[in-house]
Amino acid sequence: GHRGVDASGETTYKKTTSSTLKGAIQLGIGYTVGNLSSKPERDVLMQDFYVVESIFFPSEGSNLTPAHHYADFRFKTYAPVAFRYFRELFGIRPDDYLYSLCNEPLIELSNPGASGSLFYVTSDDEFIIKTVMHKEAEFLQKLLPGYYMNLNQNPRTLLPKFYGLYCVQSGGKNIRVVVMNNILPRVVKMHLKFDLKGSTYKRRASKKEKEKSSPTYKDLDFIQDMPEGLMLDADTFSALVKTLQRDCLVLESFKIMDYSLLLGVHNIDQQERERQSEGAHSTSDEKRPVGQKALYSTAMESIQGGAARGESIDTDD
């Protein structure tokens, strides 16, 4: 991987410090989203998937870009009009996107997994930013028309939500990042987490994983610990199965086979017990889940990676 740590202890990616990368991402997205919203809305065309917008950010500033404390860099936005359309479909308003990503600090995930990617989450827990390799970015770009088709026909899809694909170019290096939905926000505590592939071959969480405070279990653990499965009402069940079937068809058509269903279980009874044992310490402005909240996602492993959840997933099968 390209991830490292420098002498001061700061994380680096391709020798670029995390703070520099965060700064460039925030400047770049700020510019590109602002620039887009000045252009009138229009239909997405086939060509829009292949567009790459590029803007230069000299450290002394220009008439388009502000001055900054990093080295000169170039910021590239892939398929800006297409991703604007996707964000709109996902109900993300330009202002909210801008605010979450650019006006609040990005938080680096400390336990980012084995893929060598760097992960950031926005302060409001809404978005994940992940560095991707050249091949992954290229692959995602090629997938966009098919991704568009899936979103249109299958709006309940559990495949990752992609909000943007960008590249920071500096000192001859390209750092590509993708902005996605955060599938396990901290607001709702997951009492159990499973990474399910529908396979039983070596599908048990490692000892090391199980020692974590919030381990991600696998298929064999699920069979053993939840022999009766999960109870879903009939409508939810059939909708879920149908969505998974449709998603699998899309993954198959993309020739992606290394994917899994990340299942987070929020146990309401357990939550209530925990709250009562904590006493009456909770205050009214504390964020708290309202009722049961189901957060399923079929992770597109080859792009999002198990590490998107801040866990290291053993690549044992």
Point out which residues bind a copy of itself (CB under 8 A). 42-47, 145-146, 148-150, 152-154, 246, 249-250, 253
Min dist. Cβ of residue 308 to a copy of itself (A): 25
Min dist. Cβ of residue 181 to a copy of itself (A): 21
**Are residues 242 and 298 in contact, defined by beta-carbon separation less than 8 angstroms?**
no
Identity of the residue, 190 or 250, whose beta carbon is nearer to a copy of itself in the bound complex: 250
Min dist. Cβ of residue 304 to a copy of itself (A): 20
List the one residue out of 47, 70, 45 whose CA is nearest residue 57: 70
Measure CA 151 to chain center: 17
Min dist. Cβ of residue 199 to a copy of itself (A): 24
Cα gap 248→241, rounded to integer Å: 10
115 conformational bin, left if phi > 0, alpha if psi -120 to 50, beta if neither: alpha
Min dist. Cβ of residue 78 to a copy of itself (A): 18
Identity of the residue, 52 or 107, whose beta carbon is nearer to a copy of itself in the bound complex: 52
Cα gap 235→115, rounded to integer Å: 37
Identity of the residue, 52 or 226, whose beta carbon is nearer to a copy of itself in the bound complex: 52
Identity of the residue, 109 or 250, whose beta carbon is nearer to a copy of itself in the bound complex: 250
List the one residue out of 77, 228, 289 whose CA is nearest residue 167: 77
Identity of the residue, 31 or 83, whose beta carbon is nearer to a copy of itself in the bound complex: 83
Cα gap 257→242, rounded to integer Å: 19
Whole-angstrom CA distances from 107 to 100, 121, 122, 124, 304 are 11, 5, 6, 10, 18
Whole-angstrom CA distances from 101 to 25, 38, 104 are 9, 19, 6
Min dist. Cβ of residue 152 to a copy of itself (A): 5
- If one counts every other C-beta atom within 10 angstroms of the C-beta of residue 123, the result is 14
Cα gap 180→161, rounded to integer Å: 5
Identity of the residue, 42 or 202, whose beta carbon is nearer to a copy of itself in the bound complex: 42
DSSP 6-26: -TTS-EEETTEEHHHHHHHHH
Identity of the residue, 59 or 253, whose beta carbon is nearer to a copy of itself in the bound complex: 253
Min dist. Cβ of residue 138 to a copy of itself (A): 16
